[in-house]
Each structure stands twice: as structure tokens, then as C-alpha cells.
């Protein structure tokens, strides 16, 4: 009789735990290399203390150079952490198959541990910092007894930019090291800057036993520190990304007077050669990567329009002396969702995925090339778990399967991504997945109304986090899973820019996902979104009119350029603002905002009241 897989897994896990327990009991404290690896005493002390607590078998300080990466890859190929993909079609590309229970962010196990609960707000899971530390210290005790501990110094943002921030991640996962190398400016240059500044975010990570019952992602914003245990998945384990660049950075940004946002940054160059920049917040897996590297429709390309990619996921917005907001992408790579990426939807992404990429949980074809649903009509032979592909078991690639690749590999990469000053932002767009109600595009009355638009946006959930997919939830500024403090204080911080700055971006809400009665999408999306971006930029330059509605300004149906579209979309429906629908929405928003009563900025209430009255 076949032994059920779960039994094998459990027996295997028990054996593993037993071996680790014995290893812990018999192992001596780590042979700590007493040579100083850094001139920064506080960093050296922290590393020594972690090595001793985790009983790391050895400690490796990452330099980030090619030789180190080659050696790590060789080691992971031997251990099975990485599998080689077809090196003729995909040189230097590898596949990682994660534990099937460890494939997405775990929001219910993610905590913000501020000194008091109100500071974290109803938008976060909270734990008392002392309790959280004790819990995590228990989990980390001896957890690296049979492992190498890697020390990864990294810089979020251009290495020479005053807007960048530094961090050090300690991890026992070579997969994390290889991904951090693609996602951040990692290694010796970052260490040198950390030593000069003496100030950095401390991130401690271990995959533990990958046991979902012993998995926590803890943030201590007041101490600029992160502890993550029990997961190897990107958003839980690559601590520079969501943990540092959003949760900790959003907290840091409030005290320092800037914004850390879940936004793409894109440059649009018009036929006259003038480039303007847009930052866009969309919830996870709602097309930020596609929009960030959009190729304009043929008629636009022929006229001379170009799109430049600065970032696809995170944007740090700093006030400039000229009253404008300047954006930097703190990341150096993409950790993009693979399914749905194709020659039609995102040719730039495909072009950059044929070398130097790590794929996680995709399927493979018979000639060992990476494959995912939506890529093309080849049939994969192995699914994401390495089993013979059987469509009865579901998709071949996991719906949240990913690629990691350096941003510089993107054909539309903008050199401005390396500009230490950042790029000036003309428009901010907030977008969600809404089957009904929200028009294709709508402009806020002013900054305060724009903050309300962002604060009350909602979207259907996706596979990027564990939990039910397709449920509409409020996801303010697409930061629901990522804001490191109370949303009410965060909105107040957003509003404060209105008082401090006189050339703020215009704010818009977009919805590419509105459906007709048969469930089909009303708007073609992808490359055609350029048409909406053009209208947005025209509004920024005062070159076109908009129709006032109670909830924002919308274009007239013929203000969006539809030239060259095969099928003319139903613009009346796409731009409709339903009185009944919005009355219900505002009632729902009021209920949602009640969660924050006591701390909710009065301005938001007033803005909502203006819309309600106008309806």
C-alpha cells in the first residue's frame, strides 16, 4: 500500500527534529571566528551574540562578489536547494522548489511589536515586544547548530544616495543570500557604508524546520529590528523587502518626514523627449510589475512614446527643496509573480527572464525550461512540486510562483533608478481589483481628497498571501499588510505633506479590473493602460478637461485615446459613477473608518462628508 505523503513528511520531520535535538545537545557552542570582520563594534557584537545563541556551525560574511555566488550556487545544486534549468535557453537560471506549506506571505503570523498596542493599530497583529522577543529567542536558540550563518550587509536604494537606508540580514538560508544579492545592493560596499554611518536595521532570519506552527515574522520598529523564523518564502525571508523597506521603513519615514510606499515607479517619455514620473500603489499581484515595464501600444510607439522602469514594488518618497516629491526604488531586483506573464502581457519581463534568474515554484517543460500558466501553449512535464504534471491536481505552476532577477536586466530599465536624488513624481495612482463600482480612472479633488481615496481603496485578495482569494477587503494605499504603525497616524502623516509642500503630485484612482454582466473584463488592460496614463499626464499638465462627480473627476468617454484598439470598450460603463453604488460604498467606508475612531484625522472625515453630501 502506498504510504500517504503526509505520513512520510511527518516521519521525516520527526527524524529531522530528533537529529537536530541530538546535535544541539552534543554540539559545543559555535567555534566563533574571533577575528573582527567589521570595524563597527556594535555590528560585530550583534553577529557574535547571534552566532553564539543560534550555535551556528560557521559564520560567513557575504561580500556579494561573483566567486561567492558561484560557490553558493554550486553548494545549493548539490544540496538540491536549487535545480539547474536548461542552460542553453536559460543560462545561469535555476529553480527552487519550496516546501508546499511555505509559498506565500503569512499575514496572520506577522506582528508589529510596538511598545503599546495602539501604536501598531487595528491594521496590525500586535505582540508585546518583551513577549515577542522571548518567544523568538526560544525559537532561535541553537537553531543553526548544523548550519552556516550568513551575514548579509545590504543597502536599500542607490549606494551613494542620501535617501538610501542600510541593513544587515543574518540568515541560515543560502537561497535567501542568493535572492538578496539580486534584490538589494548587497556585500562589501554596503558594509563600508554601514561602518561609516554606524546605523542599520537588524534582521535575523532562520528557516527553522519550516514548521507552520513555529513560524513568526516579528517587527520591532522602535528598535529598527526584525526577527523572522520558520519560513523561506520571499516576503517572509528576504528581509530587505517587505519587512525592512515597508514595515520598518514606513515607521522610520514618519519620524524622518518621508514616505515608504508599496508602489511602482514608472517614467513616461513623450514624443518631445520629456519624461514624467508616476508612482502607483496596487495590492500584491494586481499587475504592478506589468505596469512598471509596459510597452506602449503600436500607435504610441510609432509616435515616439516610451516607458521607463524605475521600480515595480516599493517606492520611497522624499520631499525635495523645490516642494516636489522625489522617488527612489530601494530595491535592485524584481521578485515578480510568474503566472500570467507572457509575450502578450509583458514582453519586457520575458526578455529579462532568459538569463541570471532564480525561479521559485514554477513548472518545467520536457526540455527543462521554466513554465507557468499563461506563458504559452506548451505542456509542462513537472509541476511546481516536482511531480509528473497532472491537470487534475490543479495548476502546474503555483499561482504565487515567482522570478527573481536584477532590475538592470529589464529592457526598459531607467538609468534614473540609480539617480541618488530620485525622480520627481507628477502623479500618484491608487489601483485595486474591483469587479464593479470603481471607474477606470478618477482624479482626486485635491491632496486631502487623494489621501482619502488611498485610505479607503479596496481590492480582491490574491494568492500573494495565504488565505482566501477573491474577497474584497480594504487595503489602504495597498499597505494593509505592510504599514508598520497605526493607519490613522499614517494617514495623518500623508495629510501633513499637504501643509508642507506646494508642488505635490496629483492623485488618481484607477481600476483595470471592472467586469461586465457576464464576468468579462470591460477594459483590455496591460499595454492599453498607456491610454489612461496619457490622460493622467495631460491632467497634470492642465491639457484636458475632466467631469466633476461627487467622488472625483472622470474623463469624458472620448477623452481617452482609443485609436488602434481592435474592439472599442464600453467607455460609458467604465467611467460610470453609480449614485446608489457609491452611497453604499461610503456607508461601508464609514464603518471601516470607525475602527480608527479616536485617532482618525478630522480632515478625512470632512472629505468623506463632502462626497456624501455631493451624492
Which positions are catalytic?
286
Collapsing DSSP states into helix, strand and coil, what is residue 393?
helix
CB of 480 closer than 8 Å to CB of 123: yes
Nearer to ligand OXD, 121 or 336 (CB): 336
Nearer to ligand OXD, 156 or 551 (CB): 156
Interface pick for ligand OXD out of 64, 158, 203, 235 (rule CB under 6 A): 235
Nearer to ligand OXD, 167 or 311 (CB): 311
Angle subtended at Cα 132 by Cα 253 and Cα 206, rounded to the nearest 5 degrees: 85
Interface pick for Mn ion out of 54, 123, 124, 284 (rule CB under 5 A): 284
Q: Provide, rounded to whole angstroms, the least separation between the CB of residue 478 and Mn ion.
A: 8
Under rule CB under 5 A, residue 312 binds Mn ion: no
Residue 220 C-alpha cell reads as 520591532
Under rule CB under 6 A, residue 405 binds ligand OXD: no
Q: What is the dihedral of CA 126, 130, 134, 136, to 10 degrees?
A: 40
CB of 241 closer than 8 Å to CB of 474: no
Under rule CB under 6 A, residue 253 binds ligand OXD: no
Nearer to ligand OXD, 230 or 481 (CB): 481
Give me the numbers of helices (H) and strands (E) for the chain, helices first please.
18, 29
Nearer to ligand OXD, 123 or 284 (CB): 284
Q: Provide, rounded to whole angstroms, the least separation between the CB of residue 284 and ligand OXD.
A: 3
Q: Provide, rounded to whole angstroms, the least separation between the CB of residue 477 and ligand OXD.
A: 13
The half-sphere exposure of 503 on its side-chain side, counting CA atoms within 13 A, is 13
Which range binds Mn ion by CB under 5 A, 131-139, 281-289, 438-446, 555-563? 281-289
Under rule CB under 6 A, residue 493 binds ligand OXD: no
Under rule CB under 6 A, residue 335 binds ligand OXD: yes
Q: Provide, rounded to whole angstroms, the least separation between the CB of residue 234 and ligand OXD.
A: 6
Alpha helices (H) in 30-65, listed in sequence order: 41-54
Collapsing DSSP states into helix, strand and coil, what is residue 260?
strand
Under rule CB under 6 A, residue 401 binds ligand OXD: no
Under rule CB under 5 A, residue 313 binds Mn ion: yes
Angle between helix 602-614 and 487-500 (nearest 10)? 80
> Residues 109 to 168: which contact Mn ion by CB under 5 A?
none
CB of 354 closer than 8 Å to CB of 348: no
Interface pick for ligand OXD out of 68, 172, 261, 313 (rule CB under 6 A): 313
Angle subtended at Cα 130 by Cα 126 and Cα 136, rounded to the nearest 5 degrees: 80
Which residues neighbour 326 within 8 Å (Cβ) at sequence distance 6 or greater?
163, 317, 318, 319, 320, 421, 422, 423, 424, 425
> Residues 424 to 443: which contact Mn ion by CB under 5 A?
none
Q: Provide, rounded to whole angstroms, the least separation between the CB of residue 79 and Mn ion.
A: 29
Task: Give me the residue whose beta carbon is nearest to ligand OXD.
Answer: 284
| Rounded Cα distance, 155 and 245, in Å | 10
Under rule CB under 6 A, residue 432 binds ligand OXD: no
Strand pairing report for 125-126 and 402-406: unpaired
Under rule CB under 6 A, residue 464 binds ligand OXD: yes
Q: Provide, rounded to whole angstroms, the least separation between the CB of residue 477 and Mn ion.
A: 12
> Residues 94 to 113: which contact ligand OXD by CB under 6 A?
105
* Size, binding site for Mn ion by CB under 5 A: 2
| Rounded Cα distance, 548 and 383, in Å | 51
CB of 342 closer than 8 Å to CB of 376: yes
Which residues bind to ligand OXD, rule: CB under 6 A?
Answer: 105, 234-235, 284, 313, 335, 464
Residues making contact with Mn ion (CB under 5 A): 284, 313
Amino acid at each position: 500500500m502506498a504510504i500517504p505523503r503526509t505520513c512520510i513528511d511527518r516521519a521525516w520531520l520527526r527524524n529531522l527534529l530528533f537529529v537536530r535535538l541530538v546535535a544541539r545537545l552534543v554540539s559545543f557552542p559555535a567555534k566563533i571566528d574571533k577575528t573582527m570582520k567589521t570595524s563597527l563594534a556594535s555590528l560585530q557584537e550583534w553577529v557574535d551574540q547571534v552566532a553564539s545563541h543560534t550555535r551556528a556551525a560557521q559564520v560567513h560574511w557575504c561580500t556579494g562578489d561573483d566567486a561567492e555566488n558561484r560557490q553558493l550556487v554550486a553548494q545549493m545544486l548539490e544540496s538540491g536547494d536549487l535545480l539547474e534549468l536548461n542552460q542553453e535557453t536559460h543560462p545561469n537560471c535555476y529553480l527552487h522548489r519550496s516546501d508546499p506549506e511555505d509559498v506565500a506571505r503569512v499575514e496572520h503570523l506577522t506582528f508589529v511589536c510596538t511598545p503599546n498596542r495602539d501604536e501598531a493599530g487595528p491594521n496590525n497583529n500586535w505582540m508585546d515586544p518583551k513577549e515577542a522577543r522571548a518567544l523568538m529567542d526560544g525559537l532561535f536558540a541553537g537553531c543553526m547548530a548544523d548550519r552556516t550563518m550568513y551575514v548579509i550587509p545590504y543597502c536599500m536604494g542607490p549606494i551613494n544616495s542620501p535617501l538610501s537606508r542600510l541593513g544587515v540580514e543574518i540568515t541560515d538560508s543560502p537561497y535567501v543570500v542568493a535572492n538578496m544579492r539580486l534584490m538589494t545592493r548587497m556585500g562589501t560596499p554596503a558594509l563600508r557604508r554601514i561602518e561609516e554611518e554606524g546605523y542599520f536595521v537588524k534582521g535575523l532570519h532562520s528557516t527553522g524546520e519550516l514548521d507552520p506552527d513555529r513560524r513568526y515574522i516579528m517587527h520591532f520598529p522602535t528598535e529598527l529590528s526584525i526577527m523572522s523564523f520558520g519560513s523561506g518564502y520571499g516576503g517572509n525571508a528576504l528581509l530587505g523587502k517587505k519587512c525592512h523597506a515597508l514595515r520598518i521603513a514606513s515607521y522610520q519615514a514618519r519620524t524622518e518626514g518621508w514616505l515608504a510606499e508599496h508602489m511602482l515607479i514608472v517614467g513616461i517619455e513623450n514624443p518631445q523627449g520629456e519624461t514624467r514620473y508616476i508612482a502607483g500603489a496596487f495590492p500584491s499581484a494586481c499587475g504592478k510589475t506589468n505596469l512598471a515595464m509596459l510597452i506602449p501600444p503600436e500607435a504610441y510607439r510609432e509616435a515616439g512614446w516610451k516607458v521607463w522602469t524605475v521600480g515595480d514594488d516599493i517606492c520611497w518618497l522624499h520631499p525635495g527643496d523645490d516642494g516636489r516629491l522625489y522617488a527612489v526604488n530601494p530595491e535592485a531586483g524584481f521578485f515578480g509573480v510568474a503566472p500570467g506573464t507572457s509575450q502578450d502581457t509583458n514582453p519586457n519581463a520575458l526578455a529579462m527572464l532568459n538569463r541570471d534568474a532564480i525561479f521559485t515554484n514554477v513548472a518545467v517543460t520536457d526540455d527543462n525550461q521554466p513554465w507557468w500558466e499563461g506563458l504559452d501553449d506548451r505542456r509542462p512535464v513537472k509541476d511546481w512540486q516536482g511531480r509528473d504534471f497532472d491537470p487534475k491536481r490543479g495548476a502546474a505552476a503555483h499561482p504565487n510562483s515567482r522570478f527573481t532577477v536584477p532590475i538592470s536586466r529589464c529592457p526598459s530599465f531607467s538609468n534614473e533608478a540609480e539617480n541618488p536624488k530620485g525622480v520627481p513624481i507628477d502623479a500618484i495612482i491608487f489601483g485595486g481589483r474591483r469587479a464593479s463600482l470603481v471607474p477606470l480612472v478618477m482624479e482626486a479633488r485635491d491632496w486631502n481628497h487623494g489621501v482619502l481615496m488611498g485610505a479607503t481603496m479596496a481590492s480582491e485578495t490574491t494568492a500573494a498571501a495565504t488565505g482566501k482569494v477573491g474577497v474584497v477587503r480594504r487595503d489602504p494605499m495597498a499597505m494593509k499588510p505592510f504599514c508598520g504603525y497605526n493607519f490613522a497616524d499614517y494617514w495623518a502623516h500623508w495629510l501633513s505633506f499637504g501643509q508642507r509642500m506646494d508642488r505635490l503630485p496629483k492623485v488618481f484612482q484607477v481600476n483595470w479590473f471592472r467586469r461586465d454582466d457576464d464576468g468579462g473584463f470591460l477594459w483590455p488592460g496591460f499595454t492599453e493602460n498607456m491610454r489612461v496614463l496619457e490622460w493622467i499626464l495631460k491632467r497634470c499638465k492642465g491639457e484636458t478637461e475632466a467631469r466633476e462627480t461627487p467622488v472625483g473627476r472622470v474623463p469624458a468617454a472620448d477623452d481617452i485615446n482609443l485609436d488602434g484598439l481592435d474592439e472599442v470598450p464600453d467607455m460609458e460603463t467604465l467611467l460610470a459613477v453609480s449614485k446608489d453604488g457609491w452611497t453604499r460604498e461610503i456607508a461601508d467606508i464609514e464603518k471601516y473608518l470607525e475602527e480608527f475612531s479616536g485617532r482618525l484625522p478630522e480632515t478625512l472625515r470632512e472629505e468623506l462628508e463632502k462626497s456624501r453630501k455631493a451624492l
